[in-house]
Amino acid sequence: MDEKPAAATAKAIFAGGCFWGVQGVFQHVKGVTSAVSGYAGGDKDTAVYETVGTGRTGHAEAVEITYEPSEVTYGQLLQVYFSVAHNPTQLNYQGPDRGPQYRSTIFAESDAQKKIAESYIAQLDNAKVFPEPIVTTLETGKTFFPAEDYHQDFLTLNPTYPYIVYNDLPKIENLKTLFPYLYSEKPVLVLAANKS
């Protein structure tokens, strides 16, 4: 009996505040082939930036990550998510951004991802890694909707934008410091991929 080959790529969807920074971080992770800013948790009709910004759509600003499991594991992506990409102890906000659209949520793509995430959160909580309890939620069965083009690659295209300088560039430095073996100097860009 032939065994199925392991999937060449897999997906993960993380929400953790403004998607500019989350996307920027994961665009610099080795083994990530795509990191797309978008919306998850609500309906297609409301997956529009101005509508999501009201905080009444059920959506969170999220990033859909496509990665090669042979290069980076889901567990390693979770480490980056919890250690670098956002603060998992802040309920419905990150930094200056407020509202449920900025919540800390893992949109699990499978039961296996859900179990790994639950286990990792329990590990972090039990070890008291953070001074406050983790408020990250897990959601399943939610569709991801890509954000408008002007939100894609925002960190790379706008490195001097004050919000990016203050909130997001330090995350890239933290990625380099905490996970040098996962850091890639050259980001994987969405808009460049769309043009090819």
d(CA 29, CA 84): 11
Question: Catalytic residues, which ones?
Answer: 18
- Tracing tokens 């699990």 back to the chain, one arrives at 108
Q: How far is CA 56 from the centre of its chain?
A: 21
d(CA 193, CA 196): 5
d(CA 187, CA 10): 18
The secondary structure element, H or E, covering residue 80 is helix 74-80
Which residues are within 8 A (CB) of 116 and not within 5 positions of it... i.e. 6 or more apart?
74, 75, 78
